Amino acid sequence: MAKSDEDRLLDHSYDGIQEYDNPLPRWWLWIFYATIVFVPIYYLVPGDIGAGKGMIARYEAEVAAYKASAPPPAAWDAAAFAARAKDPALLASGKTVFETNCAACHRADGGGLIGPNLTDDAWIHGGQPAQIHVTVTQGVLAKGMPSWERLLKPEQVDAVIAYVLSLHGTNPKDGKAPEGTADTTAVAAPAAPAPGA
Amino acid sequence: MSAHVDTFSYDDAIVRKFLWATFIWGLVGFLVGLLIALQLANPAFNLGLEWFSFGRLRPLHTNAVIFAFAGNAIFTGIYYSSQRLLKTRMFSDALSNFHFWGWQAIIVAAALTLPFGFTQAKEYAELEWPIDIAIAVVWVAFAVNFFGTLARRRERHIYVALWFYIASIVTVAILHIFNNLSLPVAPLKSYSIYAGVQDAFMQWWYGHNAVAFFLTTPFLGLMYYFMPKAADKPVFSYKLSILHFWTLVFLYIWAGPHHLHYTALPDWASTLGMLFSVMLWMPSWGGMVNGLLTLRGAWNKVAEDPILKFMVVAVTAYGMSTFEGPMLSVKTVSSLAHYTDWIIAHVHTGALGWNGFLTFGMIYWLAPRLFQAPLHSKKLAEMHFWIATFGILLYVAAIYSAGITQGLMWRAFDETGRLAYPDFVETVMKLMPMYWVRVAGGTLYITGMLIFGYNILMTWRARPATYEVPVISAPPLAPAHPEPAAPAGEGLWARFTAARFHRRWEGLPLTFTVLTALAVIVASLAEIIPTFLIKENVPTIASVKPYTPLELAGRDLYIREGCFNCHSQMVRPLRHETERWGEYSKPGESVYDHPFLWGSRRIGPDLAREGGKYPDLWHVRHFQDPRSVTQNSIMPTYTHLGRRTIDFAGIQGRVDAMAMLGVPYGDAVTRAPELAREQAQQIAAGIAAAGGPADLADKEVTALIAYLQRLGKDIRSAPATASAPAPAPGGAP
C-alpha cells in the first residue's frame, strides 16, 4: 500500500473531487500484459490449452477415442432374460420404469392411449421378448414410439419388458382396441417357470 | 481574464423524478423476478394464466431491472453529477422532461406488450419495433441534452465520470439501432433482418455490450462521482482512470461471441470473443482498484457509514463478476456453464450487487441533498444493507450450486460410457432445493428494497415546503490553454505515459466523443465485417428448406410464448450433448431463422432435434398438462393454445415478409393460407385418429406442433440420395 506522502494531488478539482497522480499498480499492469501475451500463446499452442484445430475436430477426436475404447455392445441375452422374467424385484422396478416413462402413452394400466394396448394378444411389432426389446430400445419413430436406448439403462429395459409381459391378459377397463397381429405364444415363454424358451 | 461571473442554478427537480422512478420500477422488476423464481420452484405459480407464464414474464423481469431500474438510476446520477461537474444547468429543461416521461412511457409500453407475447425474441432487445423507435428517439433527446450541456459547460476539462457517460450514450445508441434492424409485418410484429449465425452474432454483440455500456460504464461513471464524494477522498489514480477507460471501451466490444461458444458460430469468432474477454479482466478491474484504493485511510468511515458500505460491496461485486466474466469466457469453462444457472448467478452478482448496491448507496447519499432534510434513519439503512447483503449471498450461493450441479449432471457418463443422467427432468429436480433458497434470497433482497423505500419516503416527507434553489456562481468557460511543453529530452514513451495529450482531449469533449465512438466502431466492424462476408462461416446445406406457412405461424407462436427463454435449439459438438440430443447443430441449419432461436438457458430440454421425437398427440397432451406426460415437469400449462384459433389470413403477410428477407418461399408466396390450412387439417386428422381431440384443425396448438415436428429434421433427410423434393408438408409421423 502506497504511503500517503507518495500521493501527489493533481491541480484540478471537479465539483470538489480531486485526483492523485499515482502510477498504475504494478501487479495490475503485469497481469494486463500477461493477458495480452496469452493471445499468441493461445493461437500457437495446440491441444487442450490452445485453439487447436477447432471445436469440430476436437469433437470428432473425442468421439473416435470413445469408440476405440468402448466395449462392443453385447447382444441382448434372451435366455438370461427369460430366466428372471418373473422375478418380483425385477417386476417391481419395471413397474416404476413403466409408470414414469411409458404410462403417458400406454396408460398406467397398459390399456393404451396414444400408444397401443399392451394387455391384449395383438402386437404391432411382435410380442416375443426379443422383439419387444427391439421396439423399446430402437423405438418406432414413424409411429411416435421414441427410442429408449439412451434414456433407460439395460437393466431398466429388461425390467420394463418383464413388466409389460406381466400385464398380458389383465384386460383393463376401456382398453384400446387391439392393433396389429395376434401372437398368443409371446407371453407363454416367460410364463413358463423354467428357463429355456 | 474578465472578472465576469455567471449565476445560474441546477435542475434538481428532474433528478428527484428519476430517483422515484428508480425505486418504483426497481420494486416492480424485483417482484416480477421473485414471481418467476417461484415458478421455477413450483409451476403452479404460473397461475394457469398465459400472461403470467415464465416465458412471457422473464423478459419483463430482465427489461424492468436493466432498463427501468438501472436505467433510471443511471439517469438520476447523470443528471445530478453532470450539472455539477460541468458547472451548468442541463442544456434544456424541456428535453430533460421529455427524456423522463418518454422513458417512463417506454417502460409502460414494455409492461403492456411483453406479457401479451409481443416480442422480438432477442434477449434484452425483446421490445417490438414501434417501441424500439421510441427508445431511439428518447435516447437521441437525452444525447442532445447531455452534449448540449457539455457544450455549455463552465469547466474546461471533463472529469472521468463524464468520459464514461459519453461512452455509454454513444455506444448504446449504436448497439440499439443495429441489433434491432427488422422488417415490420404488423403493428407489433417484426422479423430481424439477420438470420441464424449472423443474427446470433449481432444479438450477442448487442447483448454483451448492453451489459458493458448500460450496466458497467455508466455505473463506473456514477462510482467516480459518488464514491469520492461520499468518502470525501481524492480518486486514487488519474493515470489508471485513463488507461482503464480506453482499454475497457475498446476491448469490451469484441467479447460478445463468448456467449456463443460451441454453437454454430465459427471458431474464429468464438476464439476472438474469448481472448478479448481475457484481456478485459484488468481493464475492468481498473475501476474496482481505483474505487477501493480511493477509500485508503477511510475504512474507519466505512464501518460507520451505510452509504460507503453499499458502495464497497458494489465495487467488490463488480470485481467478482468481472473476474468471473473472463473466466466464463474461457471455452472449457463455458462448456460447463453455458445453458446453466451459473450464468444466472453471474448476472445476479452484477445486478444485485454492483448495480443495485451502487444505486442504493448513491440514493442514500442523494436523498438528504435532494429532499433537503436529513436521512430519516441511518439505522434502517444499515438494516437494509445487512438484509440485502445476506439476500445476495443466499441467492448466488444457491444458484451457483444449481448451475454447477446441473452442468456436471449433463456431462456425466457412467462406467459403461452411457449418460449417467439421461432423463433431463432428473437434472431439473435436483435443483429444486436450491430454487427455494433462491426464492428466500430474493425475498430478503426485496425486503431490503421496501425498507429503503420507506426510508426515502420518510426523508421526503420531512422536506421543506418549497425546495431552496441555491444560486451558483462560476466564471464562464476559460479558453483552452496550450498544452504545457514536454520537458526537453523527454522520450516518446515518457511523453506518451505522461498523458498530457489526454489532458488536452479532456478539454475538447467533441474530439473525445469522436475518439470514443471510433474505438467502439472500429472494434465492432473488425468482427461484424468478417461475420457477414466470409461465406465459409455458414456452409449451405441443400436439404435445409424454408418452414412451411403453418410451421412459420407455429414458430411465431413459439416466439410469442417465449419458449426460447427455457428451451435452447443448439446442440453443441460435445459428446455428452450429441449422446443426449442427437447430431450437433450446423450453421447451415438456421439460415432461414429470422430471428435465430438458439436460446441461452436450458430450463427445459433442447429442442433442436425435437421433430419426430414424439407423436403429435403427445404434444397435444403435453401442452394441455405437461405433467400428464412428464412427471415432475416444471413447464407451465398451455391450454389456451388448444382454444385459440390460428390467424390463417395473417400468414400470407408473414410469408411475404420472409420472402422479402430472402427466404426462397416458392409458391407459398401466393397461397400461404391455403397451404397452412391443408397442413393443419392433415395434422389435426392424425391427432383425431389417434384418439385425441377432434377439433384442432384451426387451433394454434396445431401450428406449434407443426413447427416442433419440423425441428432438426432437414439434415436428417440430407444424406438421402439426390435432392428430395421438399420435406415441406406433413410433418406428422
Mean pLDDT score of chain B:
94
A144/B630 touch (CB, cutoff 8 Å), yes or no = no
Say which range, A5-14, B499-508, B538-547, has the weakest mean pLDDT.
A5-14
Distance between CA atoms of residues B484 and B379, nearest Å: 50
Indicate the DSSP class of residue B351. I
pLDDT at B720: 40
Residues B160-195 have pLDDT tens digits of 999 999 999 999 999 999 999 999 999 999 999 999
**Neighboring chain B residues of A59 at a CB cutoff of 8 Å:** 573-575, 578, 584
Distance between CA atoms of residues A94 and A108, nearest Å: 12
Report whether B89 contacts B8 (CB < 8 A). Answer: yes
Nearest partner of A161 among A196, A125, A114, judged by Cα: A125
Q: Residue B472: helix, strand or coil by DSSP?
A: strand
CA distance B189 to chain A (A): 34
**Neighboring chain A residues of B614 at a CB cutoff of 8 Å:** 144, 146
Task: Give the angle subtended at the CA of B558 by the CAs of B552 and B562, to the nearest 5°.
Answer: 145
pTM for this model (two decimals): 0.92
**Neighboring chain B residues of A144 at a CB cutoff of 8 Å:** 614-618, 733
B211: which 3 cell numbers?
451489459
Number of Cβ within 10 Å of residue B384's Cβ equals: 25
Read off the pLDDT of each residue in B477-490 and give the average, rounded to a whole number: 74
pLDDT at B352: 97
Report whether B613 contacts A139 (CB < 8 A). Answer: no
Measured N-to-C along each axis, helices B196-210 and B160-179 cross at an angle, to the nearest 10 degrees, of 160
Number of Cβ within 10 Å of residue B63's Cβ equals: 25
Residues A67-81 have pLDDT tens digits of 888 877 778 888 889
Number of Cβ within 10 Å of residue B667's Cβ equals: 8
Q: Which amino acid is at A38?
A: F
A105/B629 touch (CB, cutoff 8 Å), yes or no = yes
pLDDT at B723 over 50: no
CA distance A194 to chain B (A): 31
Judged on CB neighbours under 10 Å (0-12, 13-18, 19+), A86 is middle
B89: which 3 cell numbers?
444547468
Read off the pLDDT of each residue in B85-100 and give the average, rounded to a whole number: 97
Across the interface, of A21, A59, A71, the residue whose CB is closest to B238 is A21
Does A45 contact chain B (CB < 8 Å)? no
Greater confidence, B494 or A39?
Answer: A39
Across the interface, of B247, B289, B584, the residue whose CB is closest to A59 is B584
pLDDT at A104: 83
**Neighboring chain A residues of B248 at a CB cutoff of 8 Å:** none
Q: Which residues pair with B191 in a beta bridge?
A: B183
HSE of B388, CA atoms in CB hemisphere, 13 A? 31
Q: Residue B407: helix, strand or coil by DSSP?
A: helix
**Neighboring chain A residues of B332 at a CB cutoff of 8 Å:** 48
A21/B155 touch (CB, cutoff 8 Å), yes or no = no
Place of cell 468481472: B322
pLDDT at B612: 87
pLDDT at B730 over 60: no
Nearest partner of B407 among B348, B341, B346, judged by Cα: B341
Domains and CATH numbers, chain B: 7-463 (1.20.210.10), 549-710 (1.10.760.10)
Residues ≥6 apart with Cβ < 8 Å to B674 = none
What is the maximum span of chain B, computed from C-alpha positions, in angstroms?
Answer: 94
B679: which 3 cell numbers?
397442413
Q: What region does B119 belong to: left with phi over 0, alpha with psi -120 to 50, or beta?
A: beta
pLDDT at A6 over 90: no
Distance between CA atoms of residues B574 and B582, nearest Å: 11
Distance between CA atoms of residues B66 and B491, nearest Å: 46
Q: How many CB pairs under 8 A join A and B?
A: 153
Say which range, B88-92, B381-385, B415-419, B558-562, has the weakest mean pLDDT.
B415-419
Where b means 16+ CB within 10 Å and e means fewer, B461-499 reads eeeeeeeeeeebeeeebeeeeeeeeeeeeeeeeeeeeeb
B418/A150 touch (CB, cutoff 8 Å), yes or no = yes
Report whether A138 contacts A147 (CB < 8 A). Answer: yes
Q: How confident is the model at residue B726 (pLDDT cuts 50, 70, 90)?
A: very low
Report the relative pairing of strands B189-192 and B182-186 from DSSP bridges.
Answer: antiparallel
Among A24-38, A144-158, B535-549, name the most confident range: A24-38
pLDDT at B729: 37
Q: What string of DSSP letters covers B83-149?
A: HHHHTS--S-HHHHHHHHHHHHHHHHHHHHHGGGT----STT--S-HHHHHHHHHHHHHHHHHHHHH
Report whether B312 contacts B281 (CB < 8 A). Answer: no
- What is the percent of chain B with per-residue pLDDT over 70, rounded to a whole number? 97
Across the interface, of A15, A48, A62, the residue whose CB is closest to B575 is A62
A35/B228 touch (CB, cutoff 8 Å), yes or no = no
Nearest partner of B706 among B680, B677, B675, judged by Cα: B680
pLDDT at B290: 96
How far is the first Cα of chain A from the last one, in angstroms, to the nearest whole number? Answer: 84
Where b means 16+ CB within 10 Å and e means fewer, B677-716 reads bebbebbbebbeebebeeebbbbbbbbbbbbbbbbbbbbb
CA distance B497 to chain A (A): 10
pLDDT at A30 over 90: yes
Residues B388-407 have pLDDT tens digits of 999 999 999 999 999 999 99
CA distance A176 to chain B (A): 10
Across the interface, of A39, A143, A150, the residue whose CB is closest to B579 is A150
Number of Cβ within 10 Å of residue A34's Cβ equals: 14
Mutation site for A-interface testing, chosen from B83, B254, B262, B282 by largest number of A Cβ within 10 Å:
B282
pLDDT at A141: 76
Residues B118-157 have pLDDT tens digits of 999 999 999 999 999 999 999 999 999 999 999 999 999 9
State the alpha helices, DSSP H only, in B280-431: 281-294, 299-304, 306-329, 331-337, 341-348, 357-371, 378-411, 424-429
Where b means 16+ CB within 10 Å and e means fewer, A154-193 reads eebbbbbbbbbbbbbeeebeebbebeeeeeeebbebbeee
Q: Which residues pair with A20 in a beta bridge?
A: A9
What's the complex ipTM? Answer: 0.91
B614: which 3 cell numbers?
414424439
Place of cell 456453464: B337
Place of cell 504494478: A26
Read off the pLDDT of each residue in B288-310 and give the average, rounded to a whole number: 94
pLDDT at A73: 74
Distance between CA atoms of residues B121 and B119, nearest Å: 5
Domains and CATH numbers, chain A: 4-69 (no CATH), 78-191 (1.10.760.10)
Task: Give the angle subtended at the CA of B402 by the CAs of B397 and B407, to the nearest 5°.
Answer: 130
Read off the pLDDT of each residue in B363-390 and give the average, rounded to a whole number: 98
Q: Residue A133: helix, strand or coil by DSSP?
A: helix
Residues in chain B: 733
Nearest CA in chain B to A42: B275
Say which range, A94-108, B29-43, B232-246, B563-577, has the weakest mean pLDDT.
A94-108
Does A66 contact chain B (CB < 8 Å)? yes
Nearest CA in chain B to A70: B417
Across the interface, of A38, A142, A144, the residue whose CB is closest to B614 is A144
Distance between CA atoms of residues B460 and B467, nearest Å: 11
B283/A32 touch (CB, cutoff 8 Å), yes or no = yes
CA distance B444 to chain A (A): 35
pLDDT at A194 over 80: no
Distance between CA atoms of residues B287 and A155, nearest Å: 57
Report whether A175 contacts A111 (CB < 8 A). Answer: yes
